[in-house]
Every structure is written in structure tokens, then in C-alpha cells.
Amino acid sequence: MSAILPGPPAPAGSEPEYQGKNAFIDREYSWLEFNQRVLEEAQDPANPLMERIQFLSIVANNLDEFIEVRVAGLLQKVESVLPVDGIAGLDAAVKLDTILRLIQKSVKQQYKCWNEDLLPKLRENNVHIKTMASLGKDEEKYVHTYFRKEIYPLLTPIRVDPAHPFPWVSNKALCLAALLKEDKRRDGLGVVTIPRSLARLISVPNREKGYSFIFIQDLVQHFITDLFKGYAIKSCAPFRATRNSNLYQEDEEGSSLIDAVEAVVHNRRRGDVVRLEIDKNASKRIVDALTRTFDVDAKQVFRVDGPVNLNRLASLYNMVPLSQLKFPPIHPSNTAHFQDSEDLFHEIRQRDIMLHHPFDSYDPVVRFIQSAAEDPKVQVIKQTLYRTNEESPIMYALLEAAEQGKEVVAVVELKARFDEKSNISWARQLEEKGGTVVYGLVGLKTHCKLSLAIRKEDSGFAQYAHVGTGNYNPETARRYTDISFLTSDPEITEGVSEVFNFLTSQSRSPDFKTLMVGPVNFLGETLRRIRAETESALAGKRSGITAKMNSLLDKEVIEALYEASRAGVPVRLIVRGICALRPGAKQLSENIQVKSVVGRFLEHSRIFYFENDGNPSVFVGSGDWMDRNLRERVEVAIPIKDANFIRQIEDILTVYWADNAKSRLMRADGSYVRSAPPAGEAPVNAQEWLAKRAEVPDLPLPPAPRLFPVRAPLPEPEPIETLQT
């Protein structure tokens, strides 16, 4: 996908001038570029086959959320006659038309990848996606029995007529529409919704070695006459309607936030339809009937050449246990003393511990919270929860601690989009056990990742904290790259304690010590440090900014980075997704480079590194340089003070910058070009290198341009004295 320039095209042979609003890349265009990079991973034959299918399902899932939130919001702006949208100040109606056209193009590429590349490769590996026509006699007999016993009883066919209006179709529910011949002059419409409880991909036993599956939509479509008995079926087509899920209303202090969010979750299904996906062979009469019913126009209709909703392909991964078609497993390192010591707090008291997941195990984080729940000396546990899994060992530990009578305070973010139901459930359970549940601050999402244990020791009360860049979810910790920091450093723990007080009491004069906390001082401290690098460069001192984040969108931060670039500060940004900054633009950002890494693991860690004339200021935290993170969320970034940890972070940033296997360099027009190794050199895959270093700690860094000055070697840290079990 080529970038869409928000400004007029430059004359042939000249560089475009990026000034004013044209100095910024539009958010939605930048997101589409990101999703295209994920699609490239699905198209890349160098990736194992099942991983490519996973990438394709991720592309489809990403697109679902983009449409039901971002496109839905843009439609609302157009309907409200709001002419301008986004940081680049684009015409909203023109932008909407362009985005829908680009999505149509991307969807065609996705189905081409599935039909022409992945499906044949599956067959080569004896994995077969069957149609009813391709089933053998035994297979056909099996699916017939399966349909009658497992599917048919759960289906409700509805014939649309004045007595039976068109049924409510839930957001992204898989449905079938059938054109029914009623008599010589009239046709009717029938609709069947396939319950979400039914598997979308059904395993079909066969006598040959290998694996066979059939999509449920093909099965129901084949037996549609059993559902509408007595009618001749003129045509039938599967479809799916995507609705507006951006339904949060302004917070009202007089209402219960948890009740309000429960209502939003319930009503999310009732948003306006934003997109209609339907089989490409659907008859015009069915398409016309659905577009009238859902009040969408032609540009919102997506005819698909294959299964409606490619996201469902993700289930194949676990249904096909062929390890040769998947990435080899990684073996995360685990700090040895965590395994053997009976007192985890003793370990943290001696030395801070930094972990880089998934290359370092997430088990120590889980154990930290479990130890706090089990240790009789721990009297108070405070915890933020943004996204967690349904069978969370962390939540069970908190429930156990509350049941034992410990003071458990959980700050639960109810408006973590698409995880509200799970968060509400955990919040209710914790309250029933006697825990204190707080739902954050009105108008602000609680996005920081904090855990605090307060322990009664011989010397008095001591505080221990975990601060992370990722969610408290052991499942995603295996797939996301994140930083965890375990500490008893009073400056950090007192700052974390103050954040919890800020969240529970809305204190107006908080003292966060050395922490950067949004929306209080995160933006101001970030700008101060960027400007300090600008002043260093102007004074001829050593300067440099290297940062890694998910997205970069905040206008003030971008303008400060432009100013730093013009002063001569080398700025290197590793931005996985949205980036509104234009790198390498003449007289604007010639000293700024932007790289995106999209690989096996979702890049999720946020690291901010300021050279500070040879005395680096380094922070890790939960927030990106986006306006919502800096202004509308409670975020926390902590300073990394230990020289050994700073060296580790320098290594992490260096290897990501050296990546020329899974990285793309951003150009000033917003497009990306894939990195490639120099002629004759092996490619550098940052994630693979980090996984290998987990097994070989002294693995040398790959050849790379130097990002950081040569510093004097550090003495080896003293071994931690362990308490053996």
C-alpha cells in the first residue's frame, strides 16, 4: 500500500515541502500502512505456514477494530458535517472515501493471499479445507450427522414478513441470507444467525493421514432447505455486519461508572452498521435487501472471495499440531535465584530486577503477586488492571489475598475496549471477597501497569513494586515484548504509592518523586528532556534521542522532535504502528529516522532514552507519545538508574535498530520500505537474536551502526545472596 499524501503532489523532480498541517501524517493512513506491514508477514514465504495464517487472521482482526471504531467515528463526523479530521487537517468526507477504497484494496489482497498462496500450501502439507462438493462419502455422512446433532438444534430460521421483521443482527455475527421462492410472483427473504458458541471451523475425520476441515457457513448453506422447509431456495449467501462500537458517552460524576460501562457493553451490539461483508457470489437481490436494511451504501459493502471473517482462521493454529509449520519454541530465561529462594522479597531487597519478556519468563511477575498474597508479612496489595485473561493466576492470587483478610486495592479500568466484560466480572468477584475496587478517575483511563506490596518487616513497613510496560496477562506475555521492573527502591515505590493515592483520592498535589505520570507531568517532562537535547546540540555537547513505542501521534512532541532535528540532535525512533511524524524531510526532520519492526512477537515495550551529554536519562513505562496517553490516561514511566540496566537497554535498542529482517524504514511521504541486509551479510532478526541471547547470555551484538557512545566497562554485579529452600 502506497502512502496517501495529505498535501498536493510535488512537481516532478522536486522534493515536496512539508510545512504547517502537511508536516504531519494522518493517523488513519498511518494505521493502514501498519496493517499492510502485518499483511506482508502473512505473504512472506520465509515465515512458517501456520504463522502466516496467524498473521492473516491478525490483519482481519485489526481491520475489524479499525472499522468499528475509527471508520465508525469518521462516518459520524461526516454525518455531523464536521469538515476537518485529524492532526493533518484533512477533509473528513474525502478521507472517508479514500480510506474505504484502501480497505477494499487490502481485503482483496487478504483473500488473494488465502486463496492463491496459503490454501495451496496447506494442501501440500495434507491439511485440507473442504467444501461440501469435495467431501467423500464417509465425510459427507459425518458432516450430515454433525449438522443434525450439533448445529441444527441451535439455529433459528426467520422468514422476513410484516409479522416477522428483519431480526436484530449482532455486531460481527455470522449470518446467512436466503432468497425464498414463495409463489410465481413473489420471493421472500430468510435469515439465519449462527450462534457464536458454534465453532466456525469443523474438523472432519478422514481415513487418510492428514487433517480436514470445513467452514460452518458452508455446512449451514448446504442444509439451508432443512431450515426453510417447503420453500425453493433461489440463492443463499453468508454475510456479517460490523457495527459502530465507539459508543462511550461523556462520563457523568453522578452516575455509577461500572453500571454505565455495563450498559455500553450491552448496547455495543446496537450501533449503526458500518460495514457489510458478504460472499462475492451473493445475488443482487440479497445484497440490495441487506443494504436497505442496514442503511449502508455501496462503498461500505465488501464482497469477499472466501470465508466471511478471516479472523476465524486463527483456530487452525491449535487444530493442526504440526510443529514444522510453526515457529520453533523459545526458551525464556528465568533468573535462577527466583527458582530457589523461599523469600522473593529478600531477593528484590538486595537488588532491582529487570526482565525483558517474552525472552525472560513472566513467571517472576506472577510469583511476585502470588508471594504477596501468601506472605503473612504482606498486609496491603495494590494493583492496576487494564487487560487480563479469564483464567488469570494474578486475579486468583488477589482473590485469595482478599479472602485471607489482606487489604487488597484494585484499580480496574472498565473502559479497556473489548475487555470490559472480563474486567467487570473480576471486579465483582473481588468486591465479594472483601477487596476494595476503584474504577479510576472520571474522564481518564487507567493504563499504567503497577503492583505494590506493603510488608511489615523488623525495620518497619517496606514497599515493593512491579512496574511494567505490558498488561498483567501471562498469556499475552508470551507473545508481546515488554519490560518488567521489580524494585524496593524507595524513590520508585514511594512514587508508585503516590500514583495509587492519586487514583483513589484524586489528590490535587501529588508528589510522584522521579516518576513521569500522565496526565500530570508525563508530557511536560518528555518535552523538557527533548528540549534539553536540543540545547545540548546547540551548545556543541553530546546529544541524542532514541525511543521505542507503539505509536507516535502527539503534535507537541512531534514539533519538539522537529526542533531537535533542526538543531542537529540525532533522533532514532522505533515505532511499531501509527507514526504522524515525517522523518528525513528537508528542513524539517533531516536528522530523524523512523523504523517499524513487525515480527513474530508484538512489539509492545516503551523505552525512552535521552543521551543527556553522556549521562543518559532512560525511562520505561506504559505510555506512548500519543495525545491520549499523555493527556487522557493515567500512565507511568520510571527512570532506569542502574548502569548495568542502562547497558542492557542500549543493547536492546541497538539490536532493534540493527534489524534488517523484520523492519521497515519510514519515508517522509508516510510509506515504508523493507530493510535488507548489506550484500554478503546475514540478515539480523532482532527478536530471534534476543531469544537466542536468553539461552546464550554473552551472545555478541550483531554488526550495527553505533547508537550510543563507547562507555567504560562496568564491574560485574555482586551475586545475590539467596535463601535456599
Task: Report, as residue numbers or ranges, the catalytic residues.
Answer: 447
Give the Cα separation of 308 and 215 in Å (integer): 10
Give the Cα separation of 122 and 201 in Å (integer): 15
Give residue for cell 508516510: 670
Question: Of how many residues is the chain composed?
Answer: 725
Could you tell me the CA-to-CA distances from 696 to 424, 601, 692 in Å, in that order? 43, 20, 6
Give the Cα separation of 383 and 499 in Å (integer): 11
Strand order in the sheet with 174-181: 158-160, 187-193, 174-181, 232-243, 273-279, 301-304
Residue among 22, 16, 2 nearest 98 (CA):
2
Cell of 91: 477533509
In this structure, the strands spanning 633-639 and 516-518 are antiparallel
Give residue for cell 525512552: 608
Give the Cα separation of 151 and 140 in Å (integer): 15
CB 601 within 8 A of CB 332: no
CA angle in degrees (0–180, nearest 5) for 57-224-283: 70
Judged by phi (left if over 0) then psi (alpha if -120 to 50, else beta), residue 217 lies in alpha
Cα 536–chain centre separation: 36
In this structure, the strands spanning 480-487 and 460-468 are antiparallel
Residue among 304, 105, 312 nearest 194 (CA):
312
Give the Cα separation of 155 and 226 in Å (integer): 11
Q: What is the 3-state secondary structure (H, E, C) of 258-302?
A: HHHHHHHHHHHHHCCEEEEEEECCCCHHHHHHHHHHHCCCHHHEE
Residue among 379, 465, 390 nearest 429 (CA):
390
Amino acid identity, position 191: V
298 CB burial (10 A radius; 0-12, 13-18, 19+): exposed
Q: Is the dihedral of CA 9, 12, 16, 17 positive or negative?
A: negative
**Helix, strand, or coil (residue 81):** coil
- How many helical (H) and strand (E) elements, i.e. helices and strands, does the chain have? 22, 29
